[in-house]
């Protein structure tokens, strides 16, 4: 214990010297360092249209080129080097968190701003809001390259954008913010085709249409968490994130004797911090590798156009997002499932 304290104090002194000597950049509120210093983190540029309430849609496109990585040479208190040091691993979380607290006394806006414990070593997670959206580029198997890249980057935090291991599976998912009269037809089609799907529900949906939630469960579908009140999760405190997840989790458990394990964030907005928090709650965070503009009930796509768009995007490991408020989706669903199956795809639930 004595050696541990000596080690922490020594590291704290080193950091203090760096801060006082000006070696550590003074980071501004927008994540850019002071005059003459390269910005450490650049907030992604997003183009967003106003969504209708209780809907998730791929209407936000993130300019990945605008997202900067932290150069190790400019990294305040050199966390990458410290965290890879075997001595630091021996002393664990206390040293890193104490150093972080000391550093933030001088640099309160340091952009990598979360200190979480995995019982062995602390890690720093970005709180930059990301609005999930897909570009058009695909690989030789028709898989969106953006989804593959996101899966590689965030999979360790329990995120699911695409199943990059499967040869032929497709995962059909529906978002249920409110009932527009088409869910019974969708459930009829799924039952007729012998297909199971995942339904992401809000508290309002569960409260207003419990008979449909019960039918989903009884017919073998997965009921999943779409949050209690449909907020943008990156704007919430840790406590509010847990509340949004667990209030609905507990409601469904108490009223339907069913425990949810998957969540989809409203509007597809997330951050590394949010992914880590929901993972700590035992959840996987499910996004999508295909979606289209189907949520506007006053401007529904034509059936032929929607069918072509969905089937042309078929790919192994696809996580397909459809909105159950869409009359077009209900109309073409049987044909879409038939197309997938005729072309060698197998529909199933996310593992």
CA–CA gap between residue 288 and residue 268 (Å, rounded): 9
Q: What is the pLDDT of residue 75?
A: 33
Residue range(s) of every CATH 3.20.20.370 domain in the chain? 135-347
Torsions phi, psi for 2 (to 5 deg): -65, -45
Q: Label the pairing between strands 130-131 and 269-270.
A: antiparallel
Q: Are 302 and 274 a contacting pair, CB within 8 Å?
A: no
End-to-end CA distance of the chain: 43
Dihedral over alpha carbons 239, 285, 58, 45 (to 10 degrees): 60
Q: Choosing from 146, 163, 175, 204, which is the catalytic residue?
A: 175
The pair of three-digit structure tokens given for residue 82, joined into one six-digit string: 């410290």
Residue 127: active-site member? no
What is the CATH topology of the domain spanning 135-347? Answer: TIM Barrel (3.20.20)
pLDDT score of 12: 52
Of the CA atoms within 13 Å of residue 216, those in its CB half-sphere come to 28
Tell me if residue 323 is catalytic.
Answer: yes
The tens-digit pLDDT sequence of the chain (351 residues) is 545 545 555 555 544 444 344 443 333 333 332 333 323 233 333 333 344 444 444 433 333 332 223 333 333 333 333 333 332 333 343 433 443 443 334 333 333 333 443 332 224 688 889 998 888 899 999 999 999 999 999 999 999 999 999 999 999 999 999 999 999 999 999 999 999 999 999 999 999 999 999 999 999 999 999 999 999 999 999 999 999 999 999 999 999 999 999 999 999 999 999 999 999 999 999 999 999 999 999 999 999 999 999 999 999 999 999 999 999 999 999 999 999 999 999 999 998
Indicate the helix (H) or strand (E) that contains 294: none
DSSP state of 90: H
Asked if residues 221 and 190 have their Cβ atoms less than 8 Å apart, the reply is yes
CA distance 315 to 54: 28
Which residues is 160 bridged to in the sheet? 286
The DSSP symbol for 350 reads -
CA distances from 197 to 162, 185, 209, 228, 299 (A): 15, 14, 18, 21, 25
Question: Residue 258: what pLDDT?
Answer: 98
Length of the chain (residues)? 351
H/E segment holding residue 60:
none
Nearest-CA neighbor of 275 among 318, 311, 245, 231? 245
Per-residue three-class SS string for 126-189: CCCCEECCCCCCECCCCCEHHHHHHHHHHHHHCEECCCCCCCCEEEEEEEECCCCCCHHHHHHH
Residue 112: its pLDDT value, please? 34
Q: What backbone phi and psi angles, to 5 degrees, belong to 72?
A: -60, -30
């Amino acid at each position: 214990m004595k050696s541990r304290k000596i080690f922490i104090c020594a590291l704290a002194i080193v950091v203090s010297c760096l801060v006082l000597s000006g070696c550590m950049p003074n980071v501004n509120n927008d994540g850019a360092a002071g005059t003459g210093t390269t910005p450490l983190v650049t907030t992604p540029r997003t183009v967003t249209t106003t969504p209708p309430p209780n809907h998730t849609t791929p209407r936000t496109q993130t300019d990945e080129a605008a997202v900067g990585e932290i150069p190790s040479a400019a990294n305040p208190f050199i966390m990458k080097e410290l965290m890879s040091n075997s001595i630091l691993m021996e002393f664990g979380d206390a040293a890193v968190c104490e150093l972080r607290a000391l550093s933030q006394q001088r640099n309160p806006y340091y952009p990598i701003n979360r200190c979480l414990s995995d019982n062995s070593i602390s890690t720093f997670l970005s709180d930059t809001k990301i609005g999930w959206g897909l570009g058009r580029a695909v690989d030789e198997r028709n898989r969106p390259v953006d989804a593959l890249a996101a899966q590689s980057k965030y999979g360790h935090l329990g995120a699911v954008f695409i199943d990059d291991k499967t040869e032929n599976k497709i995962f059909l998912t529906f978002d249920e913010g409110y009932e527009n009269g088409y869910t019974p037809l969708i459930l009829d089609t799924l039952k007729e085709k012998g297909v199971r799907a995942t339904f992401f529900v809000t508290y309002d949906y569960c409260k207003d249409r419990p008979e449909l939630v019960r039918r989903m469960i009884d017919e073998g579908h997965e009921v999943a968490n779409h949050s209690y009140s449909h907020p943008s999760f990156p704007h919430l405190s840790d406590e509010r994130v847990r509340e949004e997840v667990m209030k609905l989790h507990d409601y469904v458990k108490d009223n339907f004797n069913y425990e949810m394990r998957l969540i989809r964030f409203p509007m597809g907005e997330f951050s590394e911090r949010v992914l880590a928090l929901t993972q700590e709650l035992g959840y996987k965070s499910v996004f999508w590798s295909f979606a289209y503009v189907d949520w506007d009930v006053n401007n529904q796509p034509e059936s032929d156009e929607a069918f072509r768009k969905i089937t042309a995007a078929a790919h192994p490991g696809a996580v397909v997002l459809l909105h159950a408020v869409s009359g077009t989706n209900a109309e073409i669903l049987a044909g879409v499932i038939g197309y997938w199956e005729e072309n060698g795809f197998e529909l199933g639930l996310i593992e």
